[in-house]
């Protein structure tokens, strides 16, 4: 069994009370992993130009974790993170531009690729962020409201768009979890 596992490119295995299937062969008592590397992407959620966390996505529950998002991004880069995930909560809650300067300052301060979400509701929003050297965009509400436009943006910016669907009680939530 071990030779078969190695021959198929698996790097790690361990015990499992059930059967695993490798190329049609049932092998009892093992699990198999081909890829061992995890890509952990740290998040910076911005509200009023501060790093925060919300409780269950409720806007008025923010707790500040760092007053200086630029320094937080630099810390993540120094620690070797390969990408930084930023969510502009103010824009998600329809208060665009509150965090724009902070996000642009983060971009100028780190070389690490940045993925940005929150409040990207038009092609102009996407263009603004790509013109300010943001590497990837995460689109949620717009994907629900106008999927055709999102497809056009994705074609224009190939491999740069992620779609995020937030689910609560089996319902897709949009506009910063408010609708």
Q: Which of 45, 90, 101, 135 is catalytic?
A: 45
- 164 and 138 in contact (C-beta within 8 Å)? yes
**What is the crossing angle of helices 123-131 and 147-156, to 10°?**
30
Q: Which of 125, 135, 146, 166 is catalytic?
A: 166
Residue 45 is among the residues annotated as catalytic for this protein? yes
- Concatenate the DSSP letters of all residues of 85-111 into one string: EEEEHHHHTT-TTTTHHHHHHHHHH--
User: Closest by alpha carbon to 117, among 83, 151, 92?
Assistant: 92
Residue 166 is among the residues annotated as catalytic for this protein? yes
Residues that are catalytic: 45, 166
């Amino acid at each position: 069994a071990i030779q078969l596992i190695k021959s198929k490119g698996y790097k790690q295995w361990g015990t499992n009370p059930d059967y695993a299937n490798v190329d049609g062969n049932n092998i009892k008592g093992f699990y198999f992993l081909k890829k061992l590397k995890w890509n952990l992407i740290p998040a910076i959620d911005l509200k009023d130009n501060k790093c925060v966390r919300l409780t269950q996505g409720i806007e008025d529950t923010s707790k500040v974790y760092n007053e200086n998002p630029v320094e937080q991004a630099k810390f993540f880069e120094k620690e070797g993170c390969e990408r930084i995930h930023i969510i502009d909560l103010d824009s998600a809650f329809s208060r665009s531009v509150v965090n724009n300067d902070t996000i642009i300052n983060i971009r100028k301060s780190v070389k690490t690729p940045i993925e940005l979400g929150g409040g990207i509701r038009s092609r102009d929003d996407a263009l603004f962020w790509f013109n300010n050297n943001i590497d990837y965009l995460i689109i949620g509400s717009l994907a629900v409201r106008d999927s055709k436009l999102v497809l056009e943006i994705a074609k224009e910016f190939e491999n740069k768009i992620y779609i995020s669907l937030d689910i609560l009680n089996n319902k897709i939530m949009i506009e910063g979890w408010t609708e």
